[in-house]
Amino acid sequence: MAPKKAKGSSSEEKSVLEYLVKANRPYSANDISSQLHGLVSPAQAKKLLNDLADDGKIQRKVNGKQQIFYANQMDIEVPSVEEAEEEEENIKKLEQQVNATKDENKALAGRLHNLTNARTDDQMRERIATLTAEIKQNEERLAQLRSGEVISPEEKKRIETEHAAMVKQWKARKRMFKNIIDAMSEGYPGKLRDLYDELGIETDEDVQADVSIIGAK
C-alpha cells in the first residue's frame, strides 16, 4: 500500500495557498478549482482549503452552507505610500500606451482596408496615362479650332461632338479618380500631396489643365 502523504505537504496545497496569497481576495472552493484551471477538483479544493484553515495558514468564513477562504492579511506585505503611488503612475502609463496602440491599430486597419479595396498602383498609373493622352489630343484639336483654320461644317461638328464627349468623359473620370484617391487617403498619415508623389500622380493643376476652360464654348 502506497504511503499516505503528510498533511499540508502536497504540491496542490502549495498551489492553492500561493494563489490565495497572490490574488488576496476571498474565494470559494469552486472558485479556486476554476481559477487553477482544473488542477484540483472542487471537492479537492474544499478539503485543501479547510486543511489550510485548520493549520492557520489561511482564514475561513462560514455563512450558512457557504465557505469563503482568504489569505491571512498579516502575511500580506503592504506597500508604502510611495510604492503605491509609483505603481499607480505605472498603471496610468500602461493604460495610455494601450490606448495609443489601439488607436494606431485602428488607423492602420482602416488604411489597409482602403488600400486593399482600391486600384493597384499600376492600374492607377495606366488610367492617368490614358487620361493624359486624351487631354493632350483634345487640346490639340481645340487649338486647331481656335486658330481659325478653315474646315467643313461637317468636320467642325464632328470635332465639337467628339470634343464635348471627351470633356464629359474627362469630368467623369476626374470624379472617379477623386473618389478613389479620397478613399485611399483615409487614414494616410501624410499630406495628400505626399500620397500623390508616392504614387507618381500628376494632377490637372500640375499640367496646368483646366477642364472648365477647355469645356467652355
Helices marked H in 41-191 = 42-54, 81-117, 121-146, 153-185
Average pLDDT of 35-50?
Answer: 91
What's the confidence (pLDDT) of residue 78?
Answer: 64
Higher pLDDT, 135 or 117: 135
Specify the pLDDT at position 215: 53
pLDDT band at 74 (very low <50, low <70, confident <90, very high): confident
Comparison of pLDDT for 178 and 145, the residue scoring more: 178
Other Cβ atoms within 10 Å of 32 Cβ, number: 23
Separation between Cα atoms, residue 16 and residue 30, nearest integer Å: 12
- Residue 48, pLDDT > 90, answer yes
Q: Taking 70 as the threshold, does the pLDDT of residue 93 lie above it?
A: yes
Residue with cell 502523504: 5
**Which pLDDT score is estimated for 16?**
92
Q: For the segment 108-122, what is each residue's pLDDT rounded down to a tens digit?
A: 887 777 767 777 778
Beta bridge partners of 69: 27, 60
pLDDT winner (highest mean) among 44-53, 72-81, 113-122, 198-207: 44-53
What integer pLDDT is reported at residue 94 of this predicted model?
87
Residue 61's φ and ψ, nearest 5 degrees, are -125, 130
Q: Is the pLDDT of residue 3 over 60?
A: no
pLDDT at 107 over 90: no
Q: How confident is the model at residue 150 (pLDDT cuts 50, 70, 90)?
A: low
Q: What is the pLDDT of residue 43?
A: 92
What are the beta bridge partners of residue 59? 70
Q: What percent of the chain has pLDDT over 70?
A: 86
pLDDT band at 85 (very low <50, low <70, confident <90, very high): confident
Q: Grid coordinates 502609463 are at which residue? A: 93
Q: What is the pTM of this model?
A: 0.35
Q: In the prediction, which pLDDT does 4 show?
A: 44
pLDDT (average), residues 190-216: 72
